[in-house]
Amino acid sequence: MKKLILFLSVSSVVSFSSLAFGRDLALSDKEFFKALGVPILQSHPRLNMAYGDISGVSEERLHQVTHSLGRCGGFEEMGDSLEVKSLNITKDLEKLESKLQQDKQVSKQQLKVLSAVQFRPIIKERLDEVSVENLKVNVQWLQNFGTRYHKGSRANVPVDALKEKLEAMMATSRIPYKIEKISHSRTSQNSLRLTFVGSKEPKKKVILGAHFDSIAGWFGGGDAPGADDNASGSSNLIEVARILSKYDAPERTLEFYWYAGEEGGLIGSAEIASDYESRGEEVLAVMQLDMTLYPGDGPFILGSVSDFTTPWVRDLVKELNDVYFQFQINEFECGYGCSDHASWYRRGYSTVAPFEARMNSMNRDIHTSRDRIQPSYNFEHSSAFTKMALAFAMEMDRR
């Protein structure tokens, strides 16, 4: 790899239009780039964040490093997009710091008001409809594609198949809906969006997301069934959509996303969130489900990502848990780019990311051919995330 030496003042204004040409850039924690041994182009004096040059680094190497750091993800790939070319590095990181500081300054009393939940019988009725068997069927179905690798020659075969499945599911629904494939500039794989159009406040949006791609082997080309990572979260969303599609339209617009290219650096979600920010879309909150099948800390002991997520939304999930479930929830830090919620958070939106366990207890078979349904996987445990997402969607519809 060619060595690159740059001297950048933190207070200087540096445009990516001159910096990014011909390079592949990523945003992550400083330790990530140090472990890779690649040039850091710009860092922040207070955040543990940096932009680095990952030109010539294979996806396999990127994932080896994230695993060695105890993560399942860990970076946002910036590429050579229009956003990157027009971005001011210093201001971008300062904007992220400002959001982090604002979240820290919310008082306990404000959090209590924002996250208050009261029991609603209708939510309990819908929760009783969650089917563990449906989760098994859908995870098996997704696993059977062999791979959902975003750079593969058949990257959109499972995407198109899911679109057909959702169209069949929605055929008898009374809800005004849209199913759309979303193309991206940095991957040939499409993201998929299912929209339930709000009946009273359609411009206000609640988003449930899961990444759809999988990865394993050298350069991502091996057998990548991705049962836990992330057929599980993808199937949780299918089940939530199935249940809600049987009833009246939500008052606010509810969007389901199956993102492309998360394993390549949050590619799909980053482009989508950037587009929402540029258009001034009103997103009330975003929930990300990435890996829900392996009970590393024990059945019904859930993790919750505490960094680059929003305190009031995390507290809302805790309140929902207290009112409807009584699972155990343990918060943990994951680092920047842990999953697609980071794409939304960086662009100013409120996020939450429940997880199958704490990070140090997560499934170690992800990103390998062994990530397929096995005795250690627990569909009852995974169903807890379907229920949490369902309760979250219904609660956010009336707040």
Q: Is position 5 within any domain?
A: no
Examine the domain organization and report whether 140 and 289 are in the same domain.
yes
Q: Is position 3 within any domain?
A: no
Give the residue among 248, 240, 257 at the shortest CA–CA distance from 200: 248
**To which residue do tokens 């662009």 refer?**
347
Q: Give tens-digit pLDDT for 92-125.
A: 788 888 999 999 999 989 998 889 999 999 999 9
Examine the domain organization and report whether 113 and 92 are in the same domain.
no
* Residue 14 predicted with pLDDT over 60: no
Q: Is position 167 within any domain?
A: yes
Q: Is position 97 within any domain?
A: yes
Examine the domain organization and report whether 274 and 324 are in the same domain.
yes
Given 101, 132, 164, which residue is the final one in a domain? 101
Enumerate the β-bridge partners of residue 273.
Answer: none
Yes or no: say if 192 and 182 are a contact pair by the CB < 8 Å rule.
Answer: yes
Amino acid sitting at position 27: L
Q: Give tens-digit pLDDT for 286-300.
A: 999 999 999 999 999
Q: Is position 37 within any domain?
A: yes
* Whole-Å CA distances, 247 to 3, 134, 168, 200, 214: 59, 19, 16, 15, 32
Percentage of the chain lying above the pLDDT 70 cut: 90
- For 310, the domain range is 107-396
pLDDT for position 11: 28
pLDDT for position 217: 73
pLDDT for position 24: 80
Examine the domain organization and report whether 151 and 56 are in the same domain.
no
Given 69, 84, 101, which residue is the final one in a domain? 101
Confidence of residue 88 (pLDDT cuts 50, 70, 90): low
Examine the domain organization and report whether 33 and 148 are in the same domain.
no
* Residue 372 predicted with pLDDT over 80: yes
What total number of domains does the chain contain?
A: 2
* Residue 162 predicted with pLDDT over 80: yes
* Whole-Å CA distances, 358 to 269, 292, 319, 353: 23, 11, 19, 12
pLDDT for position 48: 85
Yes or no: say if 398 and 316 are a contact pair by the CB < 8 Å rule.
Answer: no
* Residue 247 predicted with pLDDT over 90: yes
Yes or no: say if 62 and 109 are a contact pair by the CB < 8 Å rule.
Answer: no
pTM above 0.75, yes or no: yes
CATH number of domain containing 80: 3.30.70
| Mean pLDDT, rounded, for 154-167 | 98
CATH number of domain containing 354: 3.40.630.10
* DSSP 8-state symbol, 331: E
Q: Is position 9 within any domain?
A: no
Examine the domain organization and report whether 86 and 128 are in the same domain.
no
The residue with greater pLDDT, 302 or 59, is 302
Examine the domain organization and report whether 302 and 164 are in the same domain.
yes
Yes or no: say if 256 and 239 are a contact pair by the CB < 8 Å rule.
Answer: no
Given 78, 101, 124, which residue is the final one in a domain? 101
pLDDT for position 219: 60
Examine the domain organization and report whether 338 and 311 are in the same domain.
yes
Cis preceding-peptide flag for 236 (omega within 30 of 0) = no
Q: Is position 11 within any domain?
A: no
pLDDT for position 95: 85
Examine the domain organization and report whether 138 and 90 are in the same domain.
no
Is residue 101 classed as helix, strand or coil in its secondary structure?
helix
Residue 230 tokens, joined: 């992330």
Q: Is position 310 within any domain?
A: yes
d(CA 147, CA 305): 27
Examine the domain organization and report whether 134 and 206 are in the same domain.
yes
The residue with greater pLDDT, 275 or 94, is 275
Average pLDDT, the chain: 89
Examine the domain organization and report whether 246 and 369 are in the same domain.
yes
Examine the domain organization and report whether 49 and 127 are in the same domain.
no
